[in-house]
Structures are given as C-alpha cells and as structure tokens.
Structure 1
Amino acid sequence: MDGLRPSPLRGLPAVEQTLPRLLDRQAATYGDKPLLRFGELERSFAQVRDAAAVAAGTLAAAGVGRGERVALMCENRIELLDYVLGCAWLGAVAVPLNTALRGVQLEHQLVNSGARVLAVDSVLVEVLEVVPAPATLDAVWALDGVPASASALPDGYRVLGPPSPAAPVPAFDAGPGETAAILYTSGTTGPAKGVQCPQAQFYWWGVLMGEQLELSEDDVLYTNLPLFHTNALNAFVQALVAGATYHLGPRFSASRFWQRVADAGATVTYLLGAMVNILASRAPGPEDRAHGVRVALAPGTPAGLFDPFRERFGVQLIEAYGSTETNAPIGVAPGEQRAGWMGRVRTGFHARVVDEHDEEVPDGVAGELVLRHDPPFAFATGYFGMDEKTVEAWRNLWFHTGDRVLRDEDGWFRFMDRLKDAIRRRGENISAFEVEQVLLQHASVSAVAVFPVASELAEDEVACAIVLEEGVVGDPVELIRHCEPRLAYFAIPRYLRFVAELPLTTNGKVRKAVLRESGVVEGDWDREAAGVRLRRLGKA
C-alpha cells in the first residue's frame, strides 16, 4: 500500500464509477449540504444532481444523443459545469475548449471533435468569423444572447440564443469506460490531441487526489483555474467524492488571492508553479496568514520555494504527477513532501523510467516516464480521431508521458523536463527545467523560460527569456556568474533575452514552442559575442 488514508469511496464496483452514479450517490448521502459555490450562487449536492438532469434534458430536446459531442467555449460560468455534467448524465460527450483558441486551432478542434453543438460566450461568437462552419455543427448557442457579430459569420452557422431549460431526463446507464469528455492538449508542438476521458477516470481523479490532499467532508476547495482545464474540472470531482464544497472563484489576482480564499472559507486550493512564484514575490502583508488554507496542489513549483512558502503563508505545497491522459499515479501525503520530488508510485499503478528503446534504465539515470494502471479505465482511452497518435503514445502497452524523470533507489520520482524541451549541447543533455530553477534563485528574476536555439555546430545552444522584477535593470554578466557555481558549464545559457512577459497559454503554461520558433532575435545578449568567458568551477 502507499500509506495514504483511503477515500471512503475507494473500492466502488466499476459500474458505480461514473459521474451519474456519483452524483446520485452523493446527493442521497449529503442532500442539502452545499457542494457548489460560484459568485452569489450556491447549490447543494441534490441541486447539482438535479441541474445535471435538466441540462441533459435540454441537450436531448435539442437532438443531442448518446456519444455525440457538445463543444463548450466559455469562461468559468455555471452553464459550463452544468453541460459537462449534463453530457455525462445523458451519455453525450462534453468538449470544453480553451477560450483563447483562434483560427486554425479552433477550426481543428471543432472539426476533429465532430461537435454537434457549440455553446459559447456571446462575446466569443466573433472569433468564428475566420473559421469555416464545420459540417457536423448544427447550432451555436450564444449563452448571453445572439450578438450583432453573428451576422458576419461564414455561411453554414446557425446562431441561437441560450436554449430554454427542458424537463429533466433519467440518468443514462453509462459504463465506466464510456467517454465523458474530450479534453484537448495545448498543441504547442503540433495539432492539439483530443484526450478521451472515460467516466471512471474522473472517479479515480476524485479518489486519488482526495487521498493525497487528505480531503474530508469539512473541506472547502477553492480554485480560480479555468473549467476547460483538467485541474479545475477534476477539483470539482474531488469535492463530489469527498463530500466537500467546491468554490469556483474569478481569475487569479495576486493582490486579491488571499482575501478571496479567506472569504470563501477555503481549506484547500490549487496553484500553478507560476502563481506560487508571483505570490512569493509580493511584499509581505497581513493577509498572508489571514486565511484557513492548509494545503495547495502546486505541481511544478521550484524546490527552493516549498519551505519559504509554508513558513510565510502557512500552506503546505503539494507536488505530484498527473496529466490529462493519466490520473494522479505518483504522489505522497502532505506530511511526506520532499521539495523538488513528485513522490512515489501509488497503489494500483506502475511506473518505469526507460530509454529511447523502452528499455528500463537504472535508478539515478534520467529517462522517459511510462505508466500503467490496474483499475479499469483509470487513464484516458486514447486520442479522439487520431489512432496513430494513440498507438504511438501507448506503445508496448505503457503510456509514454513525454516527460523526462529520474527515480532514486527509494522509489521517489523527480521531474527533469519534457523530452521536447531537453537541450543537447556539446554532447550533453541539458534539463531546461533545471536551468530555470537556478535562474529563478537570482533576486532580479521574476520568471524565466529556457529553450534551445540552433547552433552553428548543428546542435543546440541554450537560450532563456527572462522577466525581471519590477524596477530592476538586467545585468547579463551577473546572471552568468550566478549560474557558474550552480550549473555544469555546458548548461549555462549563451543567449539572454529580457522580456516584459512570457508567452503563456490561458492555463498559465509557458508556450515554449513560440520561443523555440523565434530562434535568436535582434536584441538578444550573446555571451560569446560579448567575450564573457566561463569560469568552469570544478571543470566537471
């Protein structure tokens, strides 16, 4: 066993591991207890279940049937969650789309998903002006009413106002392996892949993360991440499984974050690594401890921030491994956290570290993380409409994460970087992640992204884009000297680029592809051109 306290719902029969069955079960158990809070709206467990049945009835009245896809392109709003749950209740498939999608990216996801209906914020209707109407799309539901921009859309679009609520329908008797949602990957290195998430995968998200976060029915889970992202969507299921309350807040604001979690009565929250950096860089204030948050799931946090963050804010950061395709197969309890390490593999799951031939490498040697699961349908079932990509990712019956990790002799896993972000220079593999961690230790650096650029020697050079702290003037030589004792000489950046902000996805991830594709640009500081010689300390 993995030593974590089991969830009360761990071990449900497979037929019970579906969203409709969970909604029914927890409504019967908790009834009028609050499950969902959003703005001024509060819904009990029973009311959330009933809203899902109404949403399912509304979709059915519009002609949506079992297995058909419903695209949802909205900022956080109650209709988005209602339709996700309504699709699961009906046996249809929810397809939440990133609201930042435009042009060919949006067209690809609408066409690839074969969506029958698109429910969209009315202000976003205009983004369809340059997207040909997909052949499968029957209607666009503008949730705030039909805007004037609808008249400018290409032929083939039928834009309607929000549908009137229909009578509720009985829950579809879904199996645990039936697709509940298609969640698209960011697609930063090619066309986005639609991850087919089965009903039981959501159940296991609720169980596994609930156990790792030590959730109870007394907890309030606060998130301000977007519901089209697996993090926020699965946080809802964590609350559902634990009998807790889920509070969906507005977009992240560093100056208001702690006040908002305090007002929500939150005990658990969810942060991205960039958010941790931003909060930690702010001047201390009375709000730092005026809240009840005990833990925050914060994957990708720099190791050097774990202890200072806990000491300042009283919050234990939780590192783990999870992805849209998998679940939460690696992690440990709050009291066992080790800064810079993701944890150990969970009971019922298997992890290996392999080389490019899928041969397992010794402990202490970095390689690709591959995963398997024992519980049926705990992972995604593949990429929708992309059989070749599915076979490639699940080759040899292991899911290939594309993440480069290291396992120590005690079975702990450490994230190094994405394989596509690995840099090879002077015959050595360089972890972009590790270089970033070193640069973030410098007082002048607020955020950084390290990426490869082409070298004159047909290999990679190390480049980095740096956001400085407010009011600071960048000193390239000082940053290089900072790196020298902390990095192998071949990993020290050659190019430094000072920028006002990093290119980010809506989910707060750095768009490395944008930086890689830019190459070396005018204004980049070149260490070799500047004649700065490295002091190869230790000459490893």
Structure 2
Amino acid sequence: MGCNSHLQPWTRTLVPLPSREESLERLVRIGQRMAERATEATLPDWWAERVAVSPGATVLRTAKREISYCELDHLSDRVARAAPSLGLSPRTTVAIQLPASAAFLALILGFAKAGLRCSLLSPGLRGRSLRHALREVSTAALVTGPRGRDSAAGSGVSVDGIAVLALDGMSEDRQPLDDGGIGAVETWLEGARLQDALPDEVNRPGPDETLFYIFTSGTTGLPKATQCSHRRYVSGGIAEGIFLGLDQSDRVYVVLPMFHIAALSLIAAALSVSGAIFIRPRFSATSFWDDVREHRLTGFQYLGEIVRYLLAQPPKPDDREHTIRAMMGAGLSKEVWEAFVDRFGEIRIVEAYGSSEGVFGITNLDGVPGSVGRPAPAIEARLRIAAYDTVADELVRDANGRLIVCAEGEVGELIAKLEDASEFEGYSSAEATRAKLIEGAFADGDLWYRSGDLFRQTEGFYFFAGRLGETYRWKGENISALEVSEALETMEEIARAVVYPVLVTGHEGSAGMALIHLESGHSFDAEALYARITAELPASALPLFVRVGDPDRDGALTETYKIGVAALKREGYARREGGDQIYLLDARNATYVELDRNSLEAAGLPEFAEHPKPKEA
C-alpha cells in the first residue's frame, strides 16, 4: 500500500524554489551565529548573565508599568527564597496555573533558582483533566489564581495532599493586567517566610535536567507531560532570537498562553538579546494592532489560527502602519501567508516545525510560503517520510516488515533516526516515551522517533499535512479525543461516546464531533450535557458538534473505532435525510442547538464540504 495523500490536497508551487546552495548558505550563516553564542548554562545562570549585561534595561512592559532586568531578578530571588514555605525542595515539582503575565515569568525564574521543576498548566483545566495533570508529574504544590483555587477545591486537589497557593488579585479576564500580576506576587511574598539566602548551587539541577513540563496530547490518549531541559530551553531561545533577527531594541509581543512552548520560546528569544517583552493574557484580534502601535512592538509568535483571526478583522486604512517586522510560528498555509503579507506589508515570516517533545526542528529561513523549510543536511539525512495508512491508522510495512519511504509529493508520517534513545527527552511516563520510538524500521537494530505528524516534501522543502491518531487541533489547541469521550461517558445517560475530528471549511485544523449513544429510556438533554462536560473539560476541548446515534451501527466500527471513524470523518457534519440528529455548540447560551442552516449562520460556520475518499492502494 502506498502513501495516502488525500488528507491535504497539494497544488504544486509555481514560484521557483530556492536552490539547495542558496538554502545551505543561509544555514551556514545562521549556524555560525548560533555557535558563537552557544552556552552550557542553566536558566538561572544564563539569566544572571543577561542581568549583568543590561541591568537597567526594560525586560517587561505592562499596560501601566515597566520592569527592569534588575527588578525582575530581585523579585525572582525572593520567589526562590519563599519556595520552602510551600513545602518545596530542589528537584520537586510545582505547577503554575495562571494566565500569561509578568508574574508567570517571575515564578518560573524564581522556582528555577530554587532548583524546582515547573509544570505549566492551562488555566482552563478543571475536574478530571486537572487531577490527571497534577498526578502525571507528582506535583507537590499548585500556584494559581482565585478561580483556579475554586477549581482545585472542586477537583479534590487538597485531598491529594497538594499545597494550593492562590495569588489574590491575579486577573483572569480578557483585559491586560495593569501590572502583569507583579503586585499579586509581591503581596504573597510579604506574608511568606523567606529563607535568608538562595539554595546552595550544589543542590541546583544541571543543564540537562528538567526545567519544566508542558502538557501535550501528542497523538494518542490523555495529555502527556513532555520534559524540557535547561539546555534545550536556553539554546532554543538563542536560536529563535537569531532566526527573527532580534537585538536589544526589539520589543516582542506575547499573545499565546505561557503553558505553550511557543510563548516561552519567544520570551527566551527576547532575553537572549536583552530585549523587552509585552504580555497580553489572552489574544485579542481587535486590540492586536492597537497594542503594537502603542507599545511599538516589533515581533510576535503565531499559530496559524491567530493570523486568520487578524485577517478576518475589517480592513483599515492604517493596516500597514505598524512596527512589526518579524514573526515566527507554525500552521501558516501558503494562502494565509500571502494574504497576510499583501494586507499588512512585508514582514519576515519564519515558519517552523518542532513539537514540545521532539528531537529535531525544521525552520523555513528561505521564506517559501506554506513550508516549514528545508532541513539542514545533517538533519535531513536523519529524516524519512514513512508511508501511513490513515484508515487503518498505522504505518505501512513491506513484505519484510520494514517501513516504506514515500515518494516526493506523497503524504506520510515524519520520522527521525536516533543514534541513542537518550536523544529524545521524552515524557514523564516511560511507557509513553517508548510508544514514540520504533526499532527495526529499515534495518535490524535501528531506532527511530515518531513525530506523530503527516508531511510531504518537494525539492527538499517539507510541508505539514496533518496530525495522526486520536488528537485533533482546533483554534491552536491540541485536543485529545479520548479525554473528551471519557468525559462524556461519565454521564449516566450516555452508553458510549466516540469523538473524532471533522474539517470545517475556512478554518485551520479540525473541530471535534462527538457521536453519542444514549442509554435506553433516555433522551438527549442539551443543557445537561453542556453543564456536565464544562465541569470536566476546558472550554477549548468542548466538541463543536454532537451527533446522537449508535457508534456500532451496521457493525462498521472495530473495537478501537478506527475504520468507522475514518468513514465518519468523511461524513463530517453533513445533514442527511433520515440520518442521525446533529447538534451545534452554543456556548453563549450554555447549550447545544439543532444543526441547521440558521444555527450554522449564527455561528459563522459554512455548510459541510465533503472529504475526498482515500485513494486505493
């Protein structure tokens, strides 16, 4: 069986691609700059170097306050000295569940100075999702806001013996925090017991030890905690600063949540050049350009959906009157890339690929719209795009049991060869780590890392083509289908639930569709379902569509739903005469409503467009 390329139709790029020689010249120049700035330092040591370079320079800008490198250093010192009051000692884990803010950065720095590991959680986690995240990495304490304290109490966190610190005054609404939450941290510190000195350097973790955990749904199952070492974080920030061409005059705009690696990487990029950072708790398309102009911001990190939101705003005469000159991120299609530049002017766009838990990265330094770039020769030699059967949900093997490499233009799973398993920092779970590795892919004894993502390539340029398995990406968030289905099945009236992604024309990623089978004698209660599932899942994970029917109808599904789900994906949310009743999320009214032309129009969604059927092997 060959590679399936039906997931993302491909139109060959008509613009001539840069030659390999041109790409290599750029890579060599970038590599030289990275080598000059390479460091073996941990985050606290690297931060100390940055403070020594520019102690009085502004590091954080808020709506009404500027904070210097020296001021943030002193505040983070106090956080480190207060850590023992939470029952924390070096190499234990503290969870941070706060909106993006200056306070968030102060806590990461302070806890790192105390030798702690941080687990970075979404403020939207509650119920079983929050309990799972805290247990996954043996969390000793949780730092959150007032709403998070209530969620933690409702989730039984205190029963698990986890200390909960709520920073009163931390705003969790959509408005920028006037002081970035710094006042809330200072209020806590005023009442905390502070040690006389910072922890002894002997007890501090080394550069290859874990700095923080970030939760990712990967390709299967419940969210998993990926580990990021001090070395990886610092070197990644230095690299991103070089990719974006940052210097000390730059002011970057953080619009992504700080439990997301993209936001953290941009912060490190700014720190690497003694630049400044402006953090907005939540992205706002209507305020984006106003913030840019008011604070003279020069760069930002994006996800593809963010760029779409900006393009969806009504055009204005001053669209090109701004200070943004560079942006870096992932998920930008060729069409959206070109439309953004046409409207907002020439901006350096650096599209990149690299998962939180990955062992390699690809960066588009050639400015080819829609591509994640042409890998450096040393990285390209380790990469293969392996044939993948998207219906059976498995890698394709030949008669000898070996994987099959896709031809140019075909879609398959991107894998990378490892010389040693230690190259993959992996998850907190050894079992989850092993699941990402393949032995004997092409020869006895070889070892390969599975990205869990689909790609195609032409002339050495790689193009993202989707994600595998039981997760889907909607509005910039990776959603675990298993977690959503299990939350639905906690309702006594639901006998079985199957969750899968469906494409929505004009939107990046895929929306969640939940097919539920009701227990005999029960009817569908839209408001009760909404109330129950919002108590168990973050808002980003709520299925956009609910389909009431029988997952096992006509014996179409295997025990793991693979073949049937593939067929259901192609059906999407199309309304069919005599078919299952489909409902649409109406968050404004806390319910689900019947799917029809009017409800789709009210939600700003198009009618469903048919998926193409898979090509025969």
Matched, 1:400 2:450: yes
Paired with 2:248 and 2:357, the residues of 1 have a C-alpha distance of: 28
Residue of structure 2 equivalent to 1:414: 463
Residue of structure 2 equivalent to 1:371: 416
State how many pairs are aligned.
Answer: 455
Report the CA distance between 1:193 and its aligned residue: 0.5
Report the CA distance between 1:288 and its aligned residue: 1.5
Conserved in 2, the CA contact under 8 Å of 1:222 and 1:269?
yes
Matched, 1:352 2:402: no
C-alpha distance 245-127 of structure 1, shift in aligned 2 (>3 A): same
Paired with 1:348 and 1:238, the residues of 2 have a C-alpha distance of: 24
Conserved in 2, the CA contact under 8 Å of 1:382 and 1:390?
yes
Residue of structure 2 equivalent to 1:169: 198
Conserved in 2, the CA contact under 8 Å of 1:196 and 1:380?
no
Matched, 1:382 2:426: yes
| SS of aligned partner of 2:426 | coil
Report which structure shows greater RCO (CA 8 Å, sep ≥6).
Answer: 2
Q: After the TM superposition, which of the residue ranges 265-274 and 341-350 deviates more from structure 2?
A: 341-350
TM-score, scaled to structure 1: 0.74
* C-alpha distance after superposition, 1:445-479 (max 9, x if no partner): x677367887966541414469xxxxxxxxx99xx
Q: After the TM superposition, which of the residue ranges 48-57 and 131-140 deviates more from structure 2?
A: 131-140
Paired with 2:238 and 2:420, the residues of 1 have a C-alpha distance of: 12
Conserved in 1, the CA contact under 8 Å of 2:357 and 2:424?
yes
TM-score, scaled to structure 2: 0.65
Paired with 2:268 and 2:290, the residues of 1 have a C-alpha distance of: 25
Paired with 1:21 and 1:308, the residues of 2 have a C-alpha distance of: 42
Query: Where do residues 308-347 of structure 1 align in structure 2 (5 Å cutoff)?
Result: 308-314=339-345, 315-326=347-358, 329-333=361-365, 336-346=366-376
Conserved in 1, the CA contact under 8 Å of 2:418 and 2:449?
no
Conserved in 1, the CA contact under 8 Å of 2:224 and 2:427?
yes
Amino acid of the structure 1 residue aligned with 2:188: P
* C-alpha distance after superposition, 1:4-52 (max 9, x if no partner): 5347564556632x21121012122222222222333322233333333
C-alpha distance 246-50 of structure 1, shift in aligned 2 (>3 A): same
Paired with 1:41 and 1:87, the residues of 2 have a C-alpha distance of: 23
Query: Where do residues 113-152 of structure 1 align in structure 2 (5 Å cutoff)?
Result: 113-133=137-157, 137-144=161-168
Conserved in 1, the CA contact under 8 Å of 2:38 and 2:235?
no
* C-alpha distance after superposition, 1:479-509 (max 9, x if no partner): xxxxxxxxxxxxxxx9998957799xxxxxx
Unaligned runs of 5+ in 1: 147-160, 424-431, 441-445, 467-475, 478-493, 504-517, 526-531
Q: After the TM superposition, which of the residue ranges 454-463 and 69-78 deviates more from structure 2?
A: 454-463
Conserved in 2, the CA contact under 8 Å of 1:71 and 1:119?
yes
RMSD: 3.9
Paired with 1:64 and 1:7, the residues of 2 have a C-alpha distance of: 41
* C-alpha distance after superposition, 1:163-183 (max 9, x if no partner): 446355167443221000011
Conserved in 2, the CA contact under 8 Å of 1:341 and 1:413?
yes
Paired with 2:67 and 2:510, the residues of 1 have a C-alpha distance of: 41
Amino acid of the structure 2 residue aligned with 1:343: G
Query: Where do residues 483-522 of structure 1 align in structure 2 (5 Å cutoff)?
Result: none
Report the CA distance between 1:95 and its aligned residue: 0.8
Amino acid of the structure 2 residue aligned with 1:354: A
Report the CA distance between 1:433 and its aligned residue: 11
Residue of structure 1 equivalent to 2:522: none
Report the CA distance between 1:390 and its aligned residue: 0.6
Conserved in 2, the CA contact under 8 Å of 1:87 and 1:93?
yes
Amino acid of the structure 2 residue aligned with 1:260: D
Conserved in 2, the CA contact under 8 Å of 1:464 and 1:497?
no
Paired with 1:52 and 1:449, the residues of 2 have a C-alpha distance of: 40
Amino acid of the structure 2 residue aligned with 1:162: W
Paired with 2:350 and 2:583, the residues of 1 have a C-alpha distance of: 31
Conserved in 1, the CA contact under 8 Å of 2:413 and 2:450?
yes
Report the CA distance between 1:73 and its aligned residue: 1.1
Query: Where do residues 39-438 of structure 1 align in structure 2 (5 Å cutoff)?
Result: 39-133=63-157, 137-144=161-168, 162-164=188-190, 166=194, 167=196, 169=198, 172=201, 173-186=204-217, 190-314=221-345, 315-326=347-358, 329-333=361-365, 336-346=366-376, 349=379, 350-355=382-387, 356=395, 357=397, 358-371=403-416, 381-384=425-428, 386-396=429-439, 397-408=447-458, 410-420=459-469
Report the CA distance between 1:240 and its aligned residue: 1.2
Paired with 1:7 and 1:24, the residues of 2 have a C-alpha distance of: 24
Conserved in 1, the CA contact under 8 Å of 2:502 and 2:511?
no
